[in-house]
């Protein structure tokens, strides 16, 4: 049909489809002092980049608006960074350490970016779940109660028996049920756990994952005992380090199998709005874990600095030396070590080096200071 309406509302590139008219609209107003713009096809100045940005504080205006209330969520991304769950400790008759953990799966609404409420499935009411931190060789016992609305599991990336694998048929807890996972903590490194119930994508991306860190036992690594000690939480060597856990994740809020929000530790731009304070004089260690669903890769890029990287954290010598970017597929993880000792104080950015992820929330700052209270 010869429809002038449709034709006229088509752009010269033919980009506008049927949904187009509403956007080909002019309007009165906001008519303050720009000269030379009329309806004819005259050359009109392109809006210079930065004109508007300068008027806006914060990363040139490219940021989420507002702030997430940690009290509402019940967890604070600034505290998640250093919140190690060591379990209840008991020494077994054979001298080994037993660590008991209680973990509850529950449905919960989480504000993942200012104003955006995500219907999450959580471990202990937070996303990511608690950072389980044990020592190589410990006996680990996890009492997992499912208070959620669907069957869930805890599947640990570690060494364990098939019975303890946390997959459908082996260690899955139906709603209202409890399952106890028990295994020895091996190998040392930076690991993770996640729900392995099906459909897998949904159970993971709705928030059922967390960090599982096994510190090396210095006694088992005489050749690198000092390095191992620096990794072992609670030692004097370790006290010198500033350690953070960062779980790179994302959220598909509209069920299109693409993430609308990217982040580390769930909240978009959390560390851009509230930078991570760092004491310039002390070294930094980051336990970096990628659980991102729907995108094949994620990455970490550090500004104005280089770092050593220990893939999966299962070695005491770096697997990559002096790099400023690493990439990880889903469930890949590693340890990043660096120092800003030779730098001046200031804001140093870190982010995924997929620009798309940066712009959708996965970006933050280290606030490097001469001293941190």
Partner 1 sequence: MTRTIAQIGGPLAALLLLVAVFFAYEPLRKPFGGVPPPVEKLTVERTVLDENGIALKVRADGTEPVSVAQVQVDGAYWQFTQDPPRPVPRLASAWIKIPYPWVEGETHKILFVTRTGLTFEHEIAVAWPTPKVDAKAVWRLTLAGIFLGVVPVALGMLFYPALKTGGKTAFQFAMALTIGLLAFLLVDTLEGALEAAGQAAPGLNSAILVWIVAGLASLLLWGLAHWKGEAFTALGLATSIAFAIGVHNLGEGLAVGSAFATGAAALGGFLLLGFTLHNVTEGVGIIAPLLERRPSLAILAGLACLAGLPAMLGLWLGAFAFSSYWAALALAIGAGAILQVIIEVGLLLWNQIGGGDRTKAYAVIFTGLLVGVALMYFTGLLVQI
Applying CB under 8 A, which residues contact partner 1?
Answer: 1-13, 15-16, 18-31, 34, 37-41, 44-53, 55-56, 58, 61-65, 113-118, 251, 253-254, 256, 260, 268-269, 356, 359-361
SS (HEC) of 175-214: CCCEEEEEEECCCCEEEEEECCCCCHHHHHHCCCEEEEEE
Measured from the CB atom, is 204 or 316 closer to partner 1?
Answer: 204
Q: Which helix (H) or strand (E) holds 248?
A: strand 242-251
Measured from the CB atom, is 19 or 176 closer to partner 1?
Answer: 19
Q: DSSP of 260-274, one letter per residue? A: SEEEESSSTTHHHHS
Least distance between partner 1 and beta carbon 33 (Å): 9
Identify the CA nearest to 112 among candidates 336, 265, 311: 265
Least distance between partner 1 and beta carbon 173 (Å): 22
> Please, which residues have CB within 8 angstroms of residue 95's CB and are 6 or more apart in sequence?
none
Measured from the CB atom, is 57 or 91 closer to partner 1?
Answer: 57
Distance CA 253, CA 85 (A): 29
Distance CA 59, CA 149 (A): 40
Least distance between partner 1 and beta carbon 267 (Å): 12
Measured from the CB atom, is 6 or 224 closer to partner 1?
Answer: 6
Continuous H helices in 105-241: 200-205, 225-231, 236-239
Asked if 128 and 210 touch (Cβ cutoff 8 Å), the reply is yes
How do 333-338 and 307-311 pair as beta strands?
Answer: antiparallel
Measured from the CB atom, is 47 or 91 closer to partner 1?
Answer: 47
The three-class DSSP label of residue 311 is strand
Measured from the CB atom, is 251 or 271 closer to partner 1?
Answer: 251
Q: Residue 338 forms beta bridges with which residues?
A: 284
Asked if 262 and 362 touch (Cβ cutoff 8 Å), the reply is yes
Least distance between partner 1 and beta carbon 265 (Å): 17
- Which tokens in the block code for residue 120? 């999450």
Least distance between partner 1 and beta carbon 327 (Å): 20
Least distance between partner 1 and beta carbon 15 (Å): 4
Least distance between partner 1 and beta carbon 130 (Å): 25
Least distance between partner 1 and beta carbon 345 (Å): 27
Tokens 């990043």, located at residue: 336
Measured from the CB atom, is 61 or 346 closer to partner 1?
Answer: 61
Measured from the CB atom, is 52 or 372 closer to partner 1?
Answer: 52
């Amino acid at each position: 049909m010869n429809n002038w309406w449709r034709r006229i509302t088509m752009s010269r590139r033919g980009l506008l489809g049927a949904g187009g008219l509403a956007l080909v609209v002019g309007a009165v107003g906001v008519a303050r002092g720009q000269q030379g713009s009329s309806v004819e096809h005259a050359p009109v100045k392109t809006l210079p980049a930065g004109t508007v940005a300068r008027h806006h504080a914060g990363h040139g205006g490219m940021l989420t608006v507002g702030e997430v209330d940690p009290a509402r969520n019940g967890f604070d991304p600034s505290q998640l960074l250093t919140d190690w769950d060591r379990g209840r400790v008991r020494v077994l008759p054979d001298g080994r350490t037993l660590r008991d953990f209680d973990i509850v799966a529950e449905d919960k609404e989480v504000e993942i970016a200012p104003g955006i409420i995500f219907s999450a499935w959580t471990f202990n009411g937070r996303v990511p779940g608690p950072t389980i931190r044990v020592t190589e060789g410990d006996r680990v016992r996890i009492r997992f109660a499912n208070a959620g609305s669907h069957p869930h599991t805890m599947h640990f990336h570690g060494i364990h028996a098939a019975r303890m694998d946390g997959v459908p048929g082996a260690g899955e807890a139906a709603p209202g049920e409890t399952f106890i996972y028990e295994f020895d903590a091996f190998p040392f490194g930076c690991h993770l756990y996640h729900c392995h119930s099906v459909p897998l994508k949904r159970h993971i991306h709705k928030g059922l994952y967390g960090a599982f860190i096994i510190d090396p036992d210095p006694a088992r690594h005489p050749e690198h005992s000092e390095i191992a000690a620096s990794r072992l939480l609670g030692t004097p060597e370790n006290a010198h380090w500033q350690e953070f856990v960062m779980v790179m994740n994302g959220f598909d809020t509209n069920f299109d199998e693409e993430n609308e929000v990217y982040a580390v530790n769930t909240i978009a731009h959390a560390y851009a709005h509230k930078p991570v304070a760092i004491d310039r004089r002390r070294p930094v260690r980051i336990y970096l874990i990628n659980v991102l669903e729907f995108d094949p890769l994620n990455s970490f890029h550090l500004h104005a600095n280089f770092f050593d990287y220990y893939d999966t954290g299962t070695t005491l010598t770096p697997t990559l030396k002096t790099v400023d970017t690493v990439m990880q597929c889903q469930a890949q993880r590693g340890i990043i070590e660096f120092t800003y000792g030779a730098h001046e104080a200031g804001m140093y950015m870190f982010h995924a080096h997929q620009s798309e992820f940066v712009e959708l929330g996965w970006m933050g700052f280290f606030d490097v200071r001469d001293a941190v209270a």
